[in-house]
Amino acid sequence: MKEQIIHQKISVAVDVLIFTIEDEKLKIVLAKREAPPFEGVFALPGVSLRESETPEEAAERSVLERTGIRNIFLEQLHTFGRVDRDPRSRTISIAYCAVTSYRRLKDSGISGSAGLYPVSGILSGELPLAFDHREMTAHGREMLREKVNSGGIAFEFVPEEFTLPQLQKVYEILLGEKLYKANFRKMIAPMVEETGNMLTGQAHRPSRLYRKKKGETNE
Amino acid sequence: MKEQIIHQKISVAVDVLIFTIEDEKLKIVLAKREAPPFEGVFALPGVSLRESETPEEAAERSVLERTGIRNIFLEQLHTFGRVDRDPRSRTISIAYCAVTSYRRLKDSGISGSAGLYPVSGILSGELPLAFDHREMTAHGREMLREKVNSGGIAFEFVPEEFTLPQLQKVYEILLGEKLYKANFRKMIAPMVEETGNMLTGQAHRPSRLYRKKKGETNE
DNA sequence: TCAAAAGTGTTCCGAATACACCCATGA
DNA sequence: TCATGGGTGTATTCGGAACACTTTTGA
C-alpha cells in the first residue's frame, strides 16, 4: 500500500545552539558563513548528517569542530523542515541545544572565525542570522526557560564548583526575573552539597562553593 | 571549511502516534505491515517525506490516509535516528503526536487494516511493534503526561461538548492516578464554560455539558 | 569602620489537599 | 425509595512569596 522507496532528494543537516553565559548575558556560538548562500552572515554551527552516524553524534561532532569540547550537555530541540529554508536544495535540519559553562568554552578556545553573541540581539533582529536560525534560537531560548525549573539545566551553565549566588544569577538570567535569595536557597538546597571550599578575593564576605548533588532527579 | 553538499543516501520518514481514549484506556492507531521488513508486525502510521511538503504536512497526510481525519491536533515529538533502525537503508524518522476524541475517530472510520491498541500492551512488550516504534510510543506517552497539566492537551481527547467527569477521567488516565472531584473542578473551572446542555440517560443525576473556553492560555 | 554582598530565621498568604455533605435521576 | 454518580462548601496543610536581620570580608 505504500510508495516504493524511491530515493528522496532531501538533505539532512544538524545544527547546534551552544548556549553559555558570559558577562551576565545569555549567549550562543555563531560563525560567519564563508560561502553562499548567506555569505558573510552569522550562522549556527552545523554539519551534514553522515550515513554512519546518529543525529546526536553529528551534533557532538559539530560542537567538537567549533569549540573543541567533548561530553557537552546536549539535547535534541526540534526538527525544522520548511520547504524553502535552504535555497540550495531541500534540506531539513535537526536542531540540538548544548549548554556549557563559559569557563570551559574559554579554556577549550573557540575556533578562529566563531564567537559568542548575545541571544537578545538575535531575537530582536539586531543581529541577523542565516537560514531559519533565528527561529531555532527562539525555540532554544524557550526550551531553556522551560527546563530551568524542571530538570536542573542551570547546573550546566556553571563550573563543577560554584557558589549559590552564581547559580542564582543563572536562574535569573534564564527566567528573566529577580529571585529572592532566601527562597532560592531553600529551593535549591536539596539539589546541592558543599565542597568545603570558599571563593575568596571579592570585596565582601566569601561565598561557599557547592557542587551538584547527584543521584536524585529533582523533586 | 565545510564538506561539499554531496548527496546523502539518507531517507526521511514521518511517523505519527495517534492517541485516543477508548473504554477508559489510552490507545493508539496501528496497522499491520504488509511487506518486509517486519511483515505482519504492527507499526505506526507513517509516510515517506516528500520534497515538496513539510514534515508537519507529511504527518497530516499520514493521519488522513489512515483515519480520514483532517485538522487533527498535531505536535512534533522527536526525531529518531539510530543508524540501524531500518534494515533496508539509513532512514531517520520525524515522529509526531496526534490526539483525537474516540468519537471522531469512530465517525471517520479507521481504514481497513488499521486498528486501536492499548498503549500499556505496547510498553509492556506484550504487543511487539516494528522498527523502533515502541520507543517512540514510550516517548509519546511521556509527552502526554507532561502536557496534561501545562497546556490543556486533555481537551483534545474529548468531543467539543463534554462533561467534567469525562474530562476528569482523561486526566486520571493520562496521569495514572485518581483525582479528587471537587479539587479537579476548581482547577479546571477557569478553562471551561457551560454550554447550557445536559447529558441525560444515565442511571443517576445528569451532568452538565461544557466546552473549552478559548482565548486564554492555561493558568 | 563602613560598604557590599553572603547567608539565615520567620511571617504571611494562597493554592493544593482532603473531607463532608447535598442533589437529581433511572430503575 | 434507594443506589449511583453528579455537584458543592469548608477545613487543613504545605510551599512559595516576602521581609528582616545577622555575618564576614576587602578597602
Q: Where are the domains of chain A?
A: 11-149, 160-212
CATH topology classification for B159-212: Arc Repressor Mutant, subunit A (1.10.10)
CA B81, CA A60: separation in Å to the nearest integer?
14
Task: Name the nearest CA neighbour of A99 among A145, A130, A42.
Answer: A145
> Is A87 an interface residue toward B (CB < 8 Å)?
no
> For residue A202, what pLDDT is reported?
86
Does A201 contact strand D, using a CB cutoff of 7 Å? Answer: yes
Q: Do B82 and A2 touch (CB under 8 A)?
A: no
Same fold, A11-149 and A160-212: no
Q: Do B11 and A11 touch (CB under 8 A)?
A: no
> For residue A216, what pLDDT is reported?
46
- Whether B188 and B212 have beta carbons less than 8 Å apart is answered as no
Q: Do B51 and A90 touch (CB under 8 A)?
A: yes
Residue B181 CB partners (closer than 8 Å, separation 6+): B165, B168
Residue B187 CB partners (closer than 8 Å, separation 6+): none
> For residue A6, what pLDDT is reported?
55
B37 grid coordinates = 521488513
> For residue B141, what pLDDT is reported?
97
> For residue B112, what pLDDT is reported?
67
> For residue B6, what pLDDT is reported?
55
Classify domain A11-149 by CATH number.
3.90.79.10
A160-212 is a CATH 1.10.150.120 domain: no
pLDDT in tens, chain B (219 residues): 444 445 678 999 999 999 999 999 999 999 999 999 999 999 999 999 999 999 999 999 999 999 999 999 999 999 999 999 999 999 999 999 999 999 999 998 886 678 999 999 999 999 999 999 999 999 999 999 999 988 789 999 999 999 999 999 999 999 999 999 999 999 999 999 999 999 999 889 999 999 999 864 433
> Is A4 an interface residue toward B (CB < 8 Å)?
no
- Best to test chain A binding among B4, B6, B12 (most A CBs inside 10 Å): B12
Strands in B162-163's sheet, in edge-to-edge order, are B162-163, B207-212, B192-199
Q: What is the dihedral of CA B171, B172, B173, B178, to 10 degrees?
A: 170
What's the N-to-C CA distance of chain B in angstroms?
A: 49
From the first residue on, what is the mean pLDDT of each consecutive set of 10 residues in chain A (219 residues)?
60 98 96 95 97 98 95 98 97 98 91 88 98 98 92 93 96 95 94 93 92 64
